[in-house]
Amino acid sequence: MTSFKHGLVIAAREHLLEGKPITRLEAIVLYGVPDLTKLISDMRRQGWTIHSQKIPYVAAARRVNQHAVLRPPENLPSRKSNSPSTG
């Protein structure tokens, strides 16, 4: 019988297998998976190719907010405030 926790890991894994990007923040908030690194490492050991790309916290928070409510601290630097612009 599949445990609830195992089911959440399967959901996050299926998300990746569909070619969708996922951040650590999304893995935790949307799937309850606290260790995305382990999931990706396991998948790579099984032969899957997983590409990585860094994105700003603000972009990750925006993606999470499509499905949940995440309120970052007010004093967190963002593109609108002190952060240098990239491209």
Q: How do the residues of the chain divide into helix, strand and coil, expressed in percent and rounded to 5?
A: 45, 0, 55
Residue 81 scores a pLDDT above 50: no
pLDDT tens digits, 7-17:
889 999 999 99
Q: Is residue 81 part of a domain?
A: no
Instruction: Answer yes or no: are the C-beta atoms of 44 and 37 closer than 8 Å.
Output: no
* Amino acid 80: pLDDT: 55
- Kindly state whether residue 77 falls inside one of the protein's structural domains: no
Q: What is the pLDDT of residues 19-78, one digit of tens each?
A: 999 999 999 999 999 999 999 999 999 999 999 999 998 899 899 999 988 787 888 776
75 domain residue, yes or no = no
Residues of the domain holding 52 = 4-64
For residue 79, being part of any structural domain is answered with no
Q: Is residue 74 part of a domain?
A: no
- Looking at the structure of the chain, the number of domains it has is 1
Tokens of 75: 């004093």
Query: Does some domain include residue 69?
Result: no
